[in-house]
Amino acid sequence: MSDYKNSVLVVGFNTRPLATSLNLAGYKVYAVDFFGDVDLFPCVKDSLIISKELGANYEVLKNSYSQYLLKFALKMLERHPKIENLVIGSGLDDAIDDRAQFLQELKNKKYGIKSLNNNIEILKKARDIHGLYNLLEKYNYKYPISISADEFDFQSQNVQYPLILKKKKSSGGINIYKIDTYDQYLFLMKLLGVEGFQPNEWLVQEYIQGLPISCTIISDGVNTKVISINRQIIGEKFLNAPKQFAYCGNIVPANLLKIDNEIITEISLFLTKTLKLKGINGFDFVLKNHYPYLMEINPRIPGSLRVSENALNINLMDLHIQSFSEDEWNTILRRLDTIETHTFSTKLILFASQDIKSSKLDEISKLAYVHDKSAPYSDIYKNEPLCTILYNGTTFAESYFGALKVVDKIEKLIRN
């Protein structure tokens, strides 16, 4: 048992940020991951990489990888049945039935692993978009008007474009489309029809034009505190984003007006307490005319984890684990309340602008500020995630433009 003291199994689409943080905090980390980035392996005792195990790339598996994450998590536990803790990251927010079955398997096999995640009922409430919006309306908070696509008449004269068509089970900004005209809707239907468009699986939303913002919060199920409010970087062409609303990173802190921070904090605390969320969770907003419209809740550790840690100079995974233990809240508060930093941090996710030969990847990985380093033994194809840049600065501009310079260096390496 001593070999697995303070051990954690992390499961998710990209576990490298979580594994890095846990490793720095002194935990023994085991990972089930999709990509198998080079900088994951120094942080873990053992790992299972979905793309490697299945012999398929991102393009082939991007819409189905979630079903394999939990299967391989069970396989990892067969190897290491005494792992103490379980953290589930991105990629499984809407896999409610699969998660419930997975937890039952853990009981059946009598694994003693402790789940450091929101329970199934809380997950259901956090991902029930209509239930959330009904709750917000009751307390006069704002949200985009949303109707299930099978109940929406796109031909009606009362339709006001632009609209958003998004899959109810979407992640990372994938399967979200802005529709400006009815003709554009018809064209999109032809494209989606190839994959099988099921209207009851999609949502039509009012388009809210504004500033994408996220809020990172921690809770022990009773007490709550905001960790950071973050600028979101969405669908940027200079990062070769494959989709208009693809998640491309964050800037922390968001550098908003005090009044903006206050209302974002108010709504995030309200939802956390009402839903009884535990651990570290994320909230996505669009800030329009200095008012935040809730887009969705990510009831797990958000993608902004490492950039928040960089800006605040604190280990958040350690706090996440403490939040699932009794009588640790005062310790968590003391650590958060003693933060004194004037640092800004930018995270940029760079996607491949073209097919990239594996021989180029080692050069890219050697650049400063580059993380999520693609393995140099296989090519990267256009639109696949290439790497992440993390860059700190004393001002918002210094941090952001410093990260952009790294992007320029990478693009030059690719072209040469």
| Residue from 201, 208, 204 nearest 182 by CA | 204
Is 194's pLDDT higher than 60?
no
**Average pLDDT of the segment spanning 33-44:** 95
Structure tokens belonging to residue 301: 């550790």
Find the angle CA(337)-CA(341)-CA(347) to the nearest 5 degrees: 110
Say yes or no: domain 211-415 is CATH 3.30.470.20: yes
Q: pLDDT (tens digit, 9 = 90+) per residue, 204-214? A: 999 999 999 99
Question: Is omega for the bond preceding 199 within 30 degrees of 0, making it cis?
Answer: no
pLDDT of residue 2: 63
Structure tokens belonging to residue 155: 């031909």
What is the CATH architecture of 145-206? 2-Layer Sandwich (3.30)
Q: Which amino acid is at 219?
A: S
Is 301's pLDDT higher than 70?
yes
Q: What is the pTM of this model?
A: 0.94
Is 331's pLDDT higher than 70?
yes
What is the CATH architecture of 2-117? 3-Layer(aba) Sandwich (3.40)
pLDDT of residue 192: 81
Q: Confirm if 162 and 178 have CB atoms less than 8 A apart.
A: yes
Structure tokens belonging to residue 300: 């797990």
CA torsion, ordered 121, 125, 126, 127, to nearest 10 deg: 100
Q: pLDDT (tens digit, 9 = 90+) per residue, 263-283? A: 999 999 999 999 999 999 999
Q: Confirm if 34 and 13 have CB atoms less than 8 A apart.
A: yes
Question: Is omega for the bond preceding 299 within 30 degrees of 0, making it cis?
Answer: no
Least confident of 8-22, 150-164, 323-337: 150-164
Structural domain boundaries in the chain: 2-117, 145-206, 211-415
Is 158's pLDDT higher than 90?
no
pLDDT of residue 1: 46
pLDDT of residue 377: 84
